[in-house]
Amino acid sequence: MVACSPSRRIVIAAGLRLPQARAGGAFAKEDAGHLGARAARELLARTAIPGDQLDEVIVGCVGPPHDQANVARVIALRAGVPRGVPAYTVGRNCASGMQAVTSAVTRIEAGIGDLYLCVGVEVMSGYPLIFNQAATDFFARLAGARTSMAKLAAMASFRPKMLSPRIALMEGLTDPTNGLIMGKTAENLARDFGIGREEADRYAVRSHKRAAAARDSGRMAREIVPHLGLGSRPGKLALTADDGTRDDQSLEALGRLRPYFEKPDGVVTVGNACGITDGATALVITTEERAQELGLEPLAVIRGFAWSGCDPSRMGLGPVHATSQLLERTGVSVGDLGAVEINEAFAVQVLACEKAFASREFAAKHLGRSEALGELDPRLLNPNGGAIAIGHPVGATGARLLLTSAHELHVRHCELTLATLCIGGGQGGAVLLERPSA
């Protein structure tokens, strides 16, 4: 938990993101190294920052390709950053992009450099199918066979069930400590807080309507750079906006969907949960003084951040735990916030966070507070929609939330915004941003 030093203000000096595309769609042939480099290269070009002045490149990614183990280095070199500038990859599940930024903040606070390029990236389209153990053993036997008879014996051991793959995405979304896939932890919250199907679906409709309005008004164009996906067909146009937003989404349409994780009477469906998505966001993190030297007008001052653990079976409440610590350290109250971004992993998860924020009982039992954190104004919560409508490319989302929150400072002419999200495994992250003119 860090409240940044007021004597050396650390800022998001610049940032941009690519449109977020539904997995298997516009960016299906991308890889994290290429998609991340596209965002990084564009940001360096727009800011005219010489690559050799960077102290380091830090990238958040949950599932980098097997041949890009340190995908940060791949991104840095592909973006034209000189070889002498180091790069490393961080992972904190859904908060990996946010972790990249807070890692840079920590290094600046420690006096280790003052100019960092931070990227959050994920190509969920590229998550592989994996050979099961029986198939792995079969291929090992076959590779180890040295005689014709041994090879025939190995071949004879083949069974059709060996072709049944393990699905990396599903296994990655399942907590190994309790065996719960993330959607089932959301069902726990629906029961804990008495959240019904219609309430969740209404929230999902709101997310789509707000995202569509933000797109149509030009609000999202403030942060998005169009991108033509790698391997696109000739004549294909660049994607200019997040393509998961459904303009015609309705309560009636959502009501026809069946529960996905708990059948037949669960609350979570594919319609009131976030989409599986590809995307990338790039940010420049530096000091206010260095930004001025570079001729950059900062988007936001990073006032402080916090990380917190919570019950893995209720991982969706991570934002409440992290925000509680952050507000306590910075002396800020919920009423001071001009906008709040809570990642929409699931509608019931955001609704549960709303209820927990406003609950004195929850505060006393779980946060060590005598009073509730405070009620979140629905008008200020995810005012441009969220992951239900625009997707959740897990490694990129934390950085995307920060970029969106930074722009809200200027759109709403407010002094403070909050970006926060839940993290698989039972954690929460929160960052408080301040308008530079404040």
What is the chain's length?
Answer: 438
In 48-167, where does DSSP find H-type helix?
Answer: 71-78, 96-109, 133-144, 148-156
DSSP β-ladder status, 339-342 and 56-60? unpaired
Residue for token pair 């916090």: 306
The answer to whether the peptide bond before residue 298 is cis (omega within 30 degrees of 0) is no
422 flagged as catalytic: yes
392 flagged as catalytic: yes
Cα separation, 241 vs 215, in Å, equals 7
94 flagged as catalytic: yes
Catalytic residue among 94, 118, 310, 414, which?
A: 94
Cα separation, 3 vs 300, in Å, equals 15
Contact at 8 Å (CB) between 297 and 406?
no
Cα separation, 202 vs 347, in Å, equals 9
Catalytic residue among 4, 118, 414, 422, which?
A: 422
Residue for token pair 């960052």: 431
Catalytic residue among 34, 208, 392, 407, which?
A: 392
Distance of CA 337 to the CA centre of its chain: 21
Cα separation, 87 vs 57, in Å, equals 4
DSSP 128: P
Q: Which residues, at least 6 apart from 180, have a Cβ–Cβ distance to it below 8 Å? A: 174, 188, 312, 313
Phi, psi of 339 (to 5 degrees): -165, 150
Contact at 8 Å (CB) between 49 and 114?
no
Cα separation, 278 vs 301, in Å, equals 28
In 110-196, where does DSSP find H-type helix?
Answer: 133-144, 148-156, 168-172, 182-192
Cα separation, 291 vs 285, in Å, equals 9
Phi, psi of 57 (to 5 degrees): -115, 125
Cα separation, 366 vs 257, in Å, equals 34
Phi, psi of 408 (to 5 degrees): -65, -30
341 to each of 14, 94, 158, 307, 429, how far by Cα in Å?
A: 19, 14, 51, 16, 12
Phi, psi of 55 (to 5 degrees): -80, -35
- Residues taking part in catalysis: 94, 392, 422
